[in-house]
Copies of this chain bind each other. A is one copy, B any other.
Amino acid sequence: MELDFAIIDALRQERTGYPEVVYCRGKTVDQAESIILDMYAREIPVFATKARPALAKRLCRRIPHASYDECAQTLSIGAIGNEKCGKVAVIAAGTSDLPVALEAVRTAEFFGSKVQLTMDIGVAGIHRLFEHLPEIRTAHVLVAVAGMEGALASVAAGLVSVPVIAVPTSVGYGASFGGLSALLGMLNACSPGVSVVNIDNGFGAGYQANLINRGGVRHAHG
């Protein structure tokens, strides 16, 4: 099958170790479906983000083992094997950050990491973070998801010895300017050990966290 609106990067797995991911926003349902079916036909494991229910419904009917998370808006067919690797901890400040946090979870899982999610531990009630700290400290990499002022990233990074990937979310209003406040806050985190992905980019954080998590193991073996 030839697609005239897309060139599937079939060599991506060779080049970077992982297959291409399908970003569905801005594509029609028909376009996204064609791309996914084409990958499926070539036996490339499929991971799609920002997948609307209509697309998921169509695909899940045709491919029964396709798996859709409506809150995260991710759809996967197959997965990357996850032998012998550490854990990714995803922590989120509030209930409203759930969709972004779950996108990070699903992404890291698809690419082979074990993931543990802890919700609603924003700094307004910082004892909640401390209660979960022992568990969080067992992870090899931390993903911190927060909107508003995004302070969770700074605080968490001062308490752990692993890299923190910070995800600003657009949760908030007024002077949060669609996530700008959290983004700037995280970029200016006073704790070292933080790097940042785009606003609401749970996928990017989960992907990077998995790279860090698995990379360690892989290189120690290689």
Q: What is the interface of chain A, defined by CB distance below 8 A to chain B?
A: 4-7, 9, 11-12, 15-18, 20-21, 23, 25-27, 31, 35, 86, 93-96, 98, 119-128, 140-141, 148-151, 154-155, 157-163, 165, 168, 170-201, 203-205, 207-208, 211-212, 215-217, 219-221
Contact = CB atoms under 8 A, between A and B. Distances in A.
Given A122-B190, A149-B184, A173 B158 contact: no
Contacts of A123: 123, 151, 154-155, 158, 190-191
Contact of A16 (B7, B150, B158): B158
A174 B201 contact: yes
Given A4-B119, A149-B151, A216-B219, A211 B193 contact: yes
A27 B94 CA distance: 10
Given A31-B95, A154-B124, A161-B16, A148 B211 contact: no
Contacts of A126: 126, 155, 158-159
Contacts of A168: 174
Contact of A188 (B159, B162, B181): B181
A142 B98 CA distance: 30
A184 B176 contact: yes
Given A119-B5, A140-B215, A148-B189, A127 B174 contact: no
A154 B149 contact: yes
Given A149-B151, A208-B195, A16 B159 contact: yes
Nearest to A24: B96
Contact of A25 (B96, B98, B192): B96
B193 A125 contact: no
Nearest to A218: B216
A95 B26 contact: yes
Given A159-B126, A174-B187, A175-B198, A203 B207 contact: no
B175 A188 contact: yes
Contact of A219 (B98, B160, B217): B217
Contacts of A165: 195
